[in-house]
Structure 1
């Protein structure tokens, strides 16, 4: 009732009666959704007796959640969103610009690469679990499709409002995908232990907090973070780690045998790794200024990834008693160089500096997977399924620190007139380069604070029993939420053994 009164009293001069009625309708739908959702959950719990038959039954919960969220999105898009100048037919043709000057031709190739990373790279990277491939790719698809729509609105409120409307174009699509990337990083921390409804609810809150943090870091603090080491990777990792800490499962050992990979699942995950590795230079450079800035960002990321890969292979072999490579390290740690080059990528990091950053990121990530992850689980009760702390968390912090040092050392002798693109406040004389470095550190602290506090609150929300989370005994299992082939469901362990055996024989032959 209080929410309805707030919306009713909303009196923005730029919004007309149609906007107010649309917002009221959206809030009413959300209120109705909560009532129906809770009622359906309670009725389902009373109708069935077993945990697997009641709590995890998505027949009403998932459709209600998807339909109501999408209806609200459509209403809000109708009321608030319109094409920007580069997209609108009337505005573009009234301008004197040539068609090939349209932003689409400069940004869309990068958008394609980022989009592939979001839906294929992240999705397949998480298919390493032997019985969770459908969920890894499928739930990645679901929450990404929702998050990019919600991110368009949330980021638009803070960055894209013009005359009371949110203007959208190819750059807003890229930014929405960036925000979605943070959500998918958090998804990796809770992989196998959450329901699709929980993931949608988590995405809704995380996208909102991401937009707030992005606004504070980039607009209020004035930090630079083109590739998102802080705003995407650090935020997504520590938000997800806090959520999975709150959702701690003391009896998760009952599903421990499923929290592992087989030969073919690791091979699928490696497909995701290669897609991410190839397109990461586009990810970091997608929204940087045209010209040397974008060129330099791609180049720095390129060399950072290459150096990181060699460090990963070397340290993976070194830390194994028998000298064998660990596929977990190769799938994940080899990508840490892209994460660490995000903040400083557009700066004059130099090629050899990029290689040093990538090498350090690979070392930190492998050591994290080998030694730190077991400590976090045993001592701090953080059950990090994908090891996002090692791939995104620590390398993201490293990238933020590298960005702060590089910014503090910036000079006109190094940047020339290009200082205006990278550090406009330093170029104008408003602040010194050292102060820009301080801004970068403050931005890191703000990001960690919002991520941890936000993850804490959202974690407790997701603990509510109405969201259909799987019990400890059947985590990491597709058949809870998916129709799976009968032979897989009935003879999963036998098939796994046969497949591994056949593949091993072929390799030996």
Structure 2
């Protein structure tokens, strides 16, 4: 039988990338300028966390995506491609307000940091469809998801008067449910998943990415407090995040051993649940005043994440035809919802007036409802766009395989 080759993307990927990049250059030529009035202290503070965020985006998520045994090049390479495209696009969308009032999109370190945080949103969602999509799909997905997230922030600011930076911390919930509904729309009933596994080498690289994410997560959670908050608030954010991460790391070890029939650490459980505490503590960070609160959130997040990974992934596949490759529901979705609930409870606890507490509860629930609605709607629309055969989706037998997209001379098939 003649070998089945993956459809060529030469007529799709190269024109799309060149068209988008030239379009970005034109937009930047006419409408984008670099800010002139720069505060030296603010620049140094933001540049240090910008570097930390770069490590998370390009090394952390990049290496974390290499766990599939035959998809390592694609996992890391497509991560880089999507990240740089999404960052350029996010700078434009986040600068529309500046363009409207000032006639130009002025960029500085703060706008770069926010754009890369929007990029991390896309890299989280990619985990749900990893191995089942081609790079054309991923680039289009990045453009539509960043647009949806910016739209969600505008809705929160317009309808609920939410501060622009506070809405960004809902990115874990937005990304997780966007990815889940997207993979549901793109589901293939006959896809074979025998290549969806890891070995010692790919697991080691993925572990390296997880360690990078774990190390720099305190910077991720404290970035939004750098400009308008006191050093005490920033210190509290860093310490709370570190303690939550430490507790979730310990708990993920213990729970992985408990959930194993032979009492061994399951690497997939550990990799997915290690930084659940950092995800969960991001939303309630402004109302955490004591170390034990952050540690409790970290412990609960690890429990929820481990249980979700152990039981929800297969259940979502068989019950809802929702195949979540990287288990973003248990890694980001459930801890994100837990953090949202913790924020609600802690804020109500600190309120002495019942009327104020009730108003905050309504406000908080409304923010979650808007975020979930926008995420699900944009996920469905993106899935419908990506289902078009014009994008040449990979064949079922070519899913989770680098050879569909990368040239390896020693693995070439001779006719």
TM-score range, shorter chain: over 0.9
* C-alpha distance 227-371 of structure 1, shift in aligned 2 (>3 A): farther
Contact 1:237 1:392 in 2 (8 A): yes
Tell me the C-alpha RMSD between the 2 structures.
Answer: 2.2
Larger relative contact order (C-alpha < 8 A, sep ≥ 6)? 2
- Tell me the SS of whatever aligns to 2:187: coil
Shift of 1:229: 7.7
Residue 460, structure 1, aligned to residue 384, structure 2: yes
Aligned to 1:180: 119
* C-alpha distance 359-114 of structure 1, shift in aligned 2 (>3 A): same
Separation in 1, partners of 2:329, 2:97: 28
Shift of 1:50: 8.8
Contact 1:229 1:400 in 2 (8 A): no
Aligned to 2:332: 392
Aligned to 1:148: 87
Q: What does residue range 349-498 of structure 1 map to in structure 2 within 5 Å?
A: 349-410=289-350, 432-486=356-410
Aligned to 2:211: 274
Match of 1:66 among 1, 7, 17: 17
Contact 1:281 1:338 in 2 (8 A): yes
Separation in 2, partners of 1:390, 1:223: 27
Contact 2:156 2:167 in 1 (8 A): no
* C-alpha distance 444-117 of structure 1, shift in aligned 2 (>3 A): same
Separation in 1, partners of 2:24, 2:84: 12
Shift of 1:400: 1.2
- Tell me the SS of whatever aligns to 2:265: coil
Aligned to 2:5: 52
Q: Which has the larger radius of gyration?
A: 1
* C-alpha distance 225-304 of structure 1, shift in aligned 2 (>3 A): farther
* C-alpha distance 406-218 of structure 1, shift in aligned 2 (>3 A): farther
- Tell me the SS of whatever aligns to 2:312: helix
* C-alpha distance 340-226 of structure 1, shift in aligned 2 (>3 A): farther
Aligned to 1:499: none
- Structure 1 portions without partners, runs of 5+: 1-48, 93-98, 413-425, 491-509
Shift of 1:332: 1.4
Shift of 1:442: 1.3
Deviation track 1:140-161 (CA, whole Å, cap 9, x = no partner) reads 0000000000001111224775
* C-alpha distance 217-109 of structure 1, shift in aligned 2 (>3 A): same
Aligned to 2:243: 303
Separation in 1, partners of 2:285, 2:358: 18
Deviation track 1:245-266 (CA, whole Å, cap 9, x = no partner) reads 000011112xx22110111000
Match of 1:208 among 135, 138, 147: 147
Contact 1:369 1:387 in 2 (8 A): yes
Shift of 1:209: 0.5
Shift of 1:230: 5.2
- Structure 2 portions without partners, runs of 5+: none
Shift of 1:293: 2.1
- Tell me the SS of whatever aligns to 2:286: coil
Moved more, 57-66 or 455-464: 57-66
- Tell me the SS of whatever aligns to 2:218: helix
Aligned to 1:76: 27
Separation in 2, partners of 1:393, 1:473: 29
Q: TM (normalized to structure 2)?
A: 0.93
Contact 2:185 2:380 in 1 (8 A): yes
Residue 292, structure 1, aligned to residue 232, structure 2: yes
Contact 2:131 2:399 in 1 (8 A): yes
Shift of 1:226: 5.7
Deviation track 1:336-378 (CA, whole Å, cap 9, x = no partner) reads 1111011111323421000011111101111111111100000
Q: TM (normalized to structure 1)?
A: 0.76
- Tell me the SS of whatever aligns to 2:285: coil
Residue 257, structure 1, aligned to residue 194, structure 2: yes
